[in-house]
Amino acid sequence: MTHDLNAIAMQQYHDHFDNDQYNAIGEFLASNLNAEQDDQRVVDGMIAVQNAAFELCQHPDFKEAWHTLAVFCGQHSISVHTVDAMRNFLRRFSPDDARIDDFEATAKALLIAYRGLDDLKTATAHANGVHSWRGRMAYELLAAVEYLTYAAITLLAHDDETYIREKLRNGLHHITGALYEGVRHSQQPSLYNFRSIYFSDEGDV
């Protein structure tokens, strides 16, 4: 039975495969990675594209291959243009499959989140140099955004939830520090009092 499923999936793959689109993706990857097409990173990317296509053809050995491809794109700063080319290629195998939408959304979210971290860290460092409660509060909020961005990246990458918790805890710590500055130094301290906010726990499940 498994052999039959494999054969059917491979036949579907070959029936819908487009060599020009596939080769174009290889060229785009090489350009994004500033590498030759036989570079291992490019090869890995092309294998990930192929595996995602196999999954869409219902091959039983390639579960979640779309996600592996999305994480590869995000972690290697693959351009939006290249992600779009991959999406269009994958549509050949299963045009209306939600996994293709999830691939595109995950890859682009990771790409842009990673891209924004350097500027965010720079902004945080500058805010830390402002000699006022507003500067201190801005620093705490920017630092919180950095930790929360790492938490979001880890969520999208389906990585360790313990790490996610750590980043969330650190982010909340900085938010608490920001609110402390507002309550202590603002002329309208009540604007920064969020004591009534409730955080859900296991009992809410």
Element (H, E) at 204: none
pLDDT in tens, 10-31: 898 999 999 999 999 999 999 9
User: Confidence class of residue 2 from pLDDT cuts 50, 70 and 90?
Assistant: low
Q: Which of 31, 73, 13 is nearest to 48 (CA)?
A: 73
- Give the pLDDT confidence score for residue 201 in this predicted structure: 84
Residue 140 tokens, joined = 């705490």
pLDDT in tens, 162-182: 999 999 999 999 999 999 999
Neighbours of 129 (CB within 10 A): 8
Q: Which of 126, 184, 176 is nearest to 147 (CA)?
A: 176
pLDDT in tens, 117-155: 999 999 999 999 999 999 999 999 999 999 999 999 999
Phi-psi region of 158 (alpha: psi -120 to 50; beta: other; left: phi over 0): left
Residue 50 is given by DSSP the state H
pLDDT in tens, 45-97: 999 999 999 999 999 889 999 999 999 999 999 999 999 999 999 999 999 99
- Give the pLDDT confidence score for residue 186 in this predicted structure: 94
pTM metric for this prediction: 0.90
Residue 1 has pLDDT above 70, yes or no: no
Q: Which whole-number Å values give the CA distances from 13 to 42, 54, 118, in the listed order?
A: 21, 7, 40
